[in-house]
């Protein structure tokens, strides 16, 4: 019965009630959309970082462990550690490439067939280094897309020849594939050093350099458990295997992933709080609307009191009306905000993610605002003297 009366009273002032509902809806809409952007953004950043090799790590000698060498036995031993899915030997050398008449500074990496998974290389033309290349010590390579475009003006130059400066001499390689630029774990771990990479079989680089050991070992970490604590544990374990305390270090992107997620969460929270201010403003609007309603219904309140209505009945009626206004407005805002988030995700070809936590929080917060800002008008209505009210 109380709910029916509240709805009837809201309908009596249609224009005023509609404006109040819009005010609440706008505030809730802003909170839901901003929260949705934050949720989708965090998911996309995490997905992109996984694509870029976020779950890969590099084991190498520290400054204090310059005499430590990494061998095939270490690759096998590291691959068996808990939290490690794969291990790959890695050679590295600053280089210079010559394509046509173009000479470009680059960085050469000796890898094996697991490079696709461990350092997230993606071939856009041709193929990547395979097991046959490694076993045959083949003079084949995969080049960065930027190198191809800077020399030939196009990305697909599979089958062309490239000359690489390695160990003080130039060597001819056949281009077996062209890799996508800027998305590998190595490029992100070494960002700001040299952006353009060339990948060759590590056995070929060993032959050219005269080395039998490796510069680094790349690890593919368990994606479900890859965090800073796992990195710390693995650092301790690899040092124990090499009988050293701090001779080896492990570099990965997990700390940066956590920092980015924290930044996104903080920005989303701040923006949501700013949007939440509009909910407080809408609460003040609700209070103003209810005060006007009390003034318009003074005679009605006097009649109700004269026939036996108690103060608590009058107060409850106005409180219910206030909460109902904010609840209806918040539902409208939630519906519109959710719709915008869903449509935006579909248009941008992203997975549809709805911030259910923020949706529920917005609803209950707006309802609480309705109750809080409806108290004063309700108390004012309840305290009206019935005789004075009837005179008015």
Q: Comparing C-alpha atoms, which of 369, 366, 381 is closest to residue 318?
A: 381
- 270 vs 98 pLDDT, higher one: 98
Q: In sequence order, which residues have a C-beta less than 8 Å from that of residue 256 and are 6 or more positions away? A: 49
Q: Which of 141-155, 209-223, 276-290, 359-373 has the highest mean pLDDT?
A: 141-155
pLDDT-derived band at 390, boundaries 50, 70, 90: low
Q: Is 57 in contact with 227 (CB distance < 8 Å)?
A: no
Nearest alpha carbon to residue 199 among 113, 117, 104: 113
* Pairwise pLDDT comparison (87 vs 384), residue with the higher score: 87
What does the pLDDT average to over 51-74? 78
User: Which residue would you say has higher pLDDT here, 89 or 294?
Assistant: 89
Q: What is the mean pLDDT of residues 155-176?
A: 94
**CA–CA separation, 139 and 207 (whole Å):** 11
- Residues 12-33 have pLDDT tens digits of 777 777 878 888 888 888 888 8
Mean pLDDT on 141-159 = 91
Angle at which helices 311-347 and 254-296 pack, to 10 degrees?
140
Residues 101-129 pLDDT 10s: 888 888 899 999 998 888 778 899 999 99
**What confidence tens digit (pLDDT) does each residue in 63-104 have?**
776 678 899 999 999 999 988 888 999 998 889 999 888 888
CA 235 to chain centre: 27
Return the minimum-mean-pLDDT range out of 134-143, 173-182, 246-255: 246-255
Token pair for residue 354?
Answer: 């709805």
Least confident of 5-9, 30-34, 222-226: 222-226
Section 205-218 average pLDDT = 90
Q: If pLDDT is split at 50, 70 and 90, which confidence band does 49 have?
A: low
Instruction: Out of 140-144, 189-193, 242-246, 281-285, give the one with best mean pLDDT.
Output: 140-144
Is residue 183 within 8 Å of residue 191, measured between CB atoms? Answer: no
What is the DSSP pairing of strand 102-111 with strand 197-201? parallel
CA distances to 41, 48, 52, 143, 353 from 350, rounded to whole Å, are 10, 12, 18, 30, 9
Domain ranges of the chain: 2-48+259-391, 55-252
Phi, psi of 37 (to 5 degrees): -60, -40
């Amino acid at each position: 019965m109380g709910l029916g009366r509240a709805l009837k009273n809201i309908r009596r002032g249609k224009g005023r009630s509609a404006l109040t509902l819009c005010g609440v809806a706008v505030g809730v809409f802003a909170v839901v959309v901003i929260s949705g952007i934050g949720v989708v953004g965090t998911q996309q950043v995490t997905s992109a970082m996984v694509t870029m090799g976020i779950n890969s790590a590099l084991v190498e000698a520290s400054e204090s462990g310059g005499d430590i060498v990494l061998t095939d036995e270490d690759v096998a031993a590291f691959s068996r550690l808990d939290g490690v899915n794969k291990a790959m030997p890695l050679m590295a050398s600053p280089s210079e490439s010559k394509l046509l008449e173009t000479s470009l500074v680059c960085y050469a990496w000796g890898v094996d067939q697991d490079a696709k998974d461990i350092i997230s290389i993606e071939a856009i033309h041709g193929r990547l280094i395979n097991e046959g290349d490694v076993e045959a010590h083949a003079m084949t390579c995969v080049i960065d897309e930027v190198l191809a475009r800077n020399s030939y003006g196009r990305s697909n130059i599979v089958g062309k020849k490239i000359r690489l400066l390695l160990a003080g001499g130039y060597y001819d390689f056949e281009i077996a594939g062209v890799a996508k630029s800027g998305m590998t774990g190595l490029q992100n771990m070494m960002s700001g050093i040299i952006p353009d990479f060339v990948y060759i079989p590590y056995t070929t680089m060993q032959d050219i350099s005269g080395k039998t050991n490796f510069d680094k070992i790349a690890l593919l970490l368990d994606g479900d458990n890859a965090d800073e604590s796992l990195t710390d544990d693995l650092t301790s374990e690899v040092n124990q295997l090499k009988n050293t305390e701090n001779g080896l270090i492990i570099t990965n992107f997990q700390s940066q992933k956590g920092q980015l997620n924290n930044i996104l969460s903080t920005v989303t929270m701040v923006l949501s709080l700013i949007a939440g201010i509009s909910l407080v403003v809408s609460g003040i609007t609700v209070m103003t609307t209810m005060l006007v309603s009390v003034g318009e219904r003074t005679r009605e309140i006097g009649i109700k009191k004269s026939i036996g209505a108690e103060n608590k009945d009058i107060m409850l009626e106005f409180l219910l009306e206030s909460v109902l206004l904010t609840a209806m407005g918040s539902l409208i805002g939630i519906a519109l905000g959710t719709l915008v988030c869903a449509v935006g995700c579909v248009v941008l070809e992203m997975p549809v993610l709805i911030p259910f936590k923020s949706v529920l929080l917005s609803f209950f917060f707006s309802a609480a605002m309705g109750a809080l800002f409806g108290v004063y008008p309700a108390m004012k209505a309840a305290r009206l003297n019935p005789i004075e009210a009837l005179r008015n």
